Structure 1
Amino acid sequence: MDMLKFFAITHREHILCNPMSLEKLDQLITLLSLKPGARVLDIATGKGEFLIRLAERYRQMTGTGVDISPYCIADLRRKHQQRVPDVQLHYLEMDGASFVPEALESFDLAACIGASWIFGGHRQTLNALQKMAAPASWIVVGEPFWRHEPHPEYLEAIGMTESALGTHYQNTEAGREHWLELAYTLVSSQDDWDRYEGLQWYAAETWAGDHRDDPDAET
């Protein structure tokens, strides 16, 4: 199955395509305190819920959402028209790593939440966003981390090495290495992960049951 189609199917029940509660997301949005006219960039915007909720709170902002998935861009376009049609939002269907802003250091908020693989890792993502963010602006990232040392069998099962991720502390220190000031962190709880993973299982199972004639239903 095409991976973009697979992602769209397994996330069709999700409001937010990350293991984060909407309460935590709304708290983050409140803390950002964007000024009128703020320019926002969201790389790997997914269904665009972060961008849309920002627009609902900060009606005078402008925003750009970038995602490689046509399914996600379609969701973002629909949300824009239904919820914040008066806010100037742009959406680009493309690889986030290929996005080039009209001017460097021009965004008041540059984000890439849960998709650092686009740029080749956490530090590379910070470096890319830093080039796009204006001085004294916000950079928002979401990065997995090890809660404890992973078991070799677990690493083998998921096809990863321990060095692929750091600890929460190491993730925050990476920002300091880029001369960024840490202002706030939030951590996904077990409940956040249960909801995120559980909705994927449910969505895949119900889709397969409803599309038995689809060649991809068995894959």
Structure 2
Amino acid sequence: MNHWKYFDITHKEHIICNPTSMAKFDQLLSLLRLNKGDKVLEIATGKGELMTQLIERYGVSGVAVDLSPDHSRDARARFAERVPDADLTFLEMDGADYQPDEPESFDLTACLGASWIYNGHQGTLQALKGWTKPNGYVVVGEPYWLQEPAQEYLEMANLKRDLFATHLENVLIGQEMGLVPIYSIVSNHDDWDVYEGLNWYAGENYILNNPDDPDLPELTKRLREQKMEYLQYGRSTLGWAIYVFRKTEMRND
């Protein structure tokens, strides 16, 4: 079954495709105090809600990048409906292949939940840092281990222990490359339950309403295995946070 198809089906009910509540998302946006005309880059924009709200609130210009054909469709529709006159470029491409015209050219760079594009959290921060202006924001969303993962969980979820770090380590990784951590939003069990529950809801509705889809056996198996994976292990083992760093201007005094 196509990876993008599965993700599209299970995320039909999501406004943002990560386990952050809308209240926390709104709080994050209120702290990203940008000016009209500031430039924003978002890698893996998903359905485009972050970029859309930054344009609506602050009048920024933007570059949004996403590889998924389904989310690209949704993002384009959202941009056309809510910010039709924005100075916005949408690129349907692999974020790993994106290169801006100039380094250090964005006031805010973001990548929420797609650090695999740059081989992990550190690589993502390094890439975004290079594209961010001095004193600009670097915003990343990244899982972290709440506790040492059981081997059974790693095998069930097809994960490796070193794929993620702890919450503290996620902060320190940025700090050690000269970024200043200025805020983080941490998801709790309720946030995760809503995120995972919407996956189940959308997936089970699709199964009910599309009995002739040839991918249904694989979809059903995968969805129901992931329910058990989350309930048995993931809920107590895997966390999620959005980290806000500032790229400080180097001083020579």
TM-score normalised per structure 2? 0.84
Shift of 1:115: 0.8
* Aligned mates of 1:154, 1:44 — CA distance in 2: 27
The residue identity in structure 1 corresponding to 2:112 is I
Aligned counterpart, 1:196: 195
1:31-89 deviation per Cα after TM superposition (whole angstroms, max 9, x unaligned): 01001211001101100111111111012x10111110111111111111111112222
The residue identity in structure 2 corresponding to 1:166 is A
1:142-186 deviation per Cα after TM superposition (whole angstroms, max 9, x unaligned): 111111111121112112222221110000000111100011011
* Aligned mates of 1:22, 1:81 — CA distance in 2: 22
Aligned counterpart, 1:48: 48
Structure (1 or 2) with the greater strand fraction: 2
**1:26 aligns to 2:26 (yes or no):** yes
Aligned counterpart, 2:4: 4
1:115-126 mapped onto 2 (5 Å cutoff): 115-126=114-125
* Aligned mates of 2:160, 2:82 — CA distance in 1: 42
**1:140 aligns to 2:152 (yes or no):** no
Aligned counterpart, 1:82: 81
SS in structure 2 of the partner of residue 143 of structure 1 = strand
* Aligned mates of 2:93, 2:197 — CA distance in 1: 28
Runs of 5+ consecutive residues of structure 2 not aligned to the other structure: 219-253
* Aligned mates of 1:80, 1:163 — CA distance in 2: 37
* Aligned mates of 1:13, 1:116 — CA distance in 2: 23
The residue identity in structure 2 corresponding to 1:37 is G
The residue identity in structure 2 corresponding to 1:206 is N
Shift of 1:107: 0.6
Q: Tell which deviates more after alignment, 77-86 or 102-111.
A: 77-86
Shift of 1:196: 0.7
Count of aligned pairs between the two proteins: 218
Aligned counterpart, 2:110: 111
* Aligned mates of 1:6, 1:13 — CA distance in 2: 13
Aligned counterpart, 1:183: 182
Q: Which runs of 4+ in 1 moved over 2 A?
A: none
Q: Tell which deviates more after alignment, 6-15 or 147-156.
A: 147-156
SS in structure 1 of the partner of residue 90 of structure 2 = strand
Shift of 1:208: 1.6
* Aligned mates of 2:15, 2:46 — CA distance in 1: 10
* Aligned mates of 1:83, 1:66 — CA distance in 2: 18
1:3-22 deviation per Cα after TM superposition (whole angstroms, max 9, x unaligned): 01111111011011000011
The residue identity in structure 2 corresponding to 1:12 is K
SS in structure 2 of the partner of residue 142 of structure 1 = strand
TM-score normalised per structure 1? 0.97
The residue identity in structure 1 corresponding to 2:127 is A
1:155-170 mapped onto 2 (5 Å cutoff): 155-170=154-169
* Aligned mates of 1:68, 1:216 — CA distance in 2: 22
Q: Tell which deviates more after alignment, 40-49 or 150-159.
A: 150-159
